[in-house]
Amino acid sequence: MARQGLYDRLPSPPVTPGMECSGVVEAVGEEVTERKVGDRVMVINRCGLWQEVAVVPATHTFLIPEGMGFEEAAALPVNYITAYMMLFDFGNLRPNQSVLVHAAAGGVGIAATQLCNTVKDVTVFGTASASKHETISQGGVTHPIDYRTKDYVEEVRKISPKGMDIILDPLGGSDTHKAYNLLKPMGKLITYGTSNMLAGQKKNLLAVAKNWYHQFSIHTLSLIQGNKSVCGFHLGYLDGEMELISQAMDIILDLYKQGKVKPRIDSTWHLEQVGDAMRKMQERNNIGKVILTTEPMPEEEKKEEPKKEDKKEDKKKDDKKKDDKKKDDGKKEEKKDDKKKEEPKKEEKKEEEKKEEPKEEK
């Protein structure tokens, strides 16, 4: 969404995206006492972390626990803090409740599922394409639903006629209406995104307008009569509340040490490959987190890049040959047409010669 200009917390270009990263502290300010050079840390910030060196406030860093690699550390902050604060601060998740997690194979979806499994007898409904069902089931989703071929509302009602206790909604638009209607009395809808605005690699104004037209709106009287609550969450707007975020992170890291939560890495890409990495996410081909690394790209991969260029050049040459052939064919056709035009003229000339022959005889 940030790349398409749909994320207003990102400053105007030129700007470096990136809300989270991990690495080693290279220098500290004079008044910093809680961090030192050489510390392995994970970082959360408004933006600017997709780069080799970043400058951030010390309060935005968290020590990486022993046994956690840099890739896991980079995958943890945004997804797990978001999932934790929605489920426990807003949702007040308790035993024997039911939770609907959309995009259950994504970073936040996997984090939310793992956190639900830390509470006794919580039933998790998760939407994802059919090819991802086995993975999310192994990860703790009780009832996987293929949103592409089935109506997830009907599927939920079949299993839980009363509806859900908690629904995490990253979709927006008409799906937020569906989510509200799926809540049980005392249920909680937590909306944290509008991914329905995305409809391809480039900004689609029609999709944006459609999502805006179907935007969820409700009167407070309906909330009172329905005994339901609606919450909104956006971690990007909590950058001034680092104390709250730190409290959540302490609990999450403790759960990691106990082996109850663990980020799932889908794939790792070099910064030079950021376009391919973004495309993989946009096409929803990932299961878990897509990571960017600043380490130098291996020579083998660099050699493959020229091969791609060679293929492009070969394609250009083939296209040129095809164009030249079309031009030659066009010229041949023109010659044929000219020949056809000349034939009537020859016939006319013959007729004139025949007419002149009797005169000479006379």
Q: pTM of this prediction?
A: 0.77
The CA dihedral of 269, 272, 273, 275, to the nearest 10 degrees, is 130
pLDDT at 362: 43
3-state secondary structure at position 125 = strand
List the one residue out of 189, 190, 197, 142 whose CA is nearest residue 163.
189
Residues of the chain short of pLDDT 70, as ranges, are 1-9, 195-214, 298-362
pLDDT at 116: 98
pLDDT at 348: 60
If 0-12 CB within 10 Å is exposed, 13-18 middle and 19+ buried, where does residue 65 land? middle
Helices (H), the chain: 70-75, 77-84, 107-116, 133-138, 152-159, 174-182, 205-213, 220-226, 242-257, 274-282, 299-361
Instruction: Please give the domain boundaries of the chain with CATH numbers for all domains.
Output: 91-232 (3.40.50.720)
pLDDT at 284: 83
Summarised one tens digit per residue, pLDDT across range 192-218 is 987 645 444 555 556 556 655 567 788
pLDDT at 59: 95
Amino acid occupying residue 79: N
